[in-house]
Amino acid sequence: MADDIISVEEFERTRVARFKNLEGSKKPMLDAVIPGCEREIYQIIGRGVGEDKDQQVSITDNRDFNVAVVRCQPGKGTLHHDHVTNEVFMPLKGRWKIFWGTDETSRHVILDPWDVASCPPHVMRGFRNVSDEEGLLFVIVGGTNPGNVDWRRDVLDQAEKRGHKRNEDGSIVKVAAAAE
């Protein structure tokens, strides 16, 4: 039985992600091109629902879940989106507003470091760093293949005005920016 145990070297190479070595994406999802949504996402286990096809993933064995860390400045976050799986949020640094429904004010909670919230599938949701410092948000997306993000129409339109949209596989591509 001991011969079947993974070696330390292989474990380190395939199952450990050192944060200092991670490369984040500054265009991890379509809305990141919209002012107020600038952020960096580190895909740690699996690709999750990320839309940057070039982003490297540290741990590829993502059976049943995907893990990422979001880093952004105060006031920044994501716009309303949805996916077919649960999404779990836990602030590591800063205070975060987790919102759902049709706007950012009607339905929301504020999470402090180490608080946890779980958003169910098929619910439009988003998050924003509401602290006065850079924030780090630990995110788990359920499912081995969690599918693509569904964006509200206004988010898709804003991104396209700024020269970005998604192709048929859900990855971000550059297009001609719409004239204002």
The predicted-structure confidence for 99-154, as pLDDT tens digits, reads as follows 999 999 999 999 999 999 999 999 999 999 999 999 999 999 999 999 999 999 99
Domains: count for the chain: 1
The full 3-state SS of 33-83, as one line of letters, equals HCCCCCCEEEEEECCCCCCCCCCCCCECCCCCEEEEEEEECCCCECCCEEC
Using H for helix, E for strand and C for coil, what is the string for 161-176? HCCEEECCCCCEEECC
In a domain, 42, yes or no: yes
| Residue at 180 is within a domain | no
- Would you say residue 101 lies in a domain? yes
pLDDT of residue 1: 47
Domain that holds residue 29: 18-160
How confident is the prediction for the chain on average, in pLDDT?
A: 93
**Which CATH number goes with the domain that contains 111?**
2.60.120.10
* Percentage of residues of the chain with pLDDT beyond 90: 88
pTM across the whole model: 0.91
Q: What angle do CA 91, 95, 96 make, to 5 degrees?
A: 70
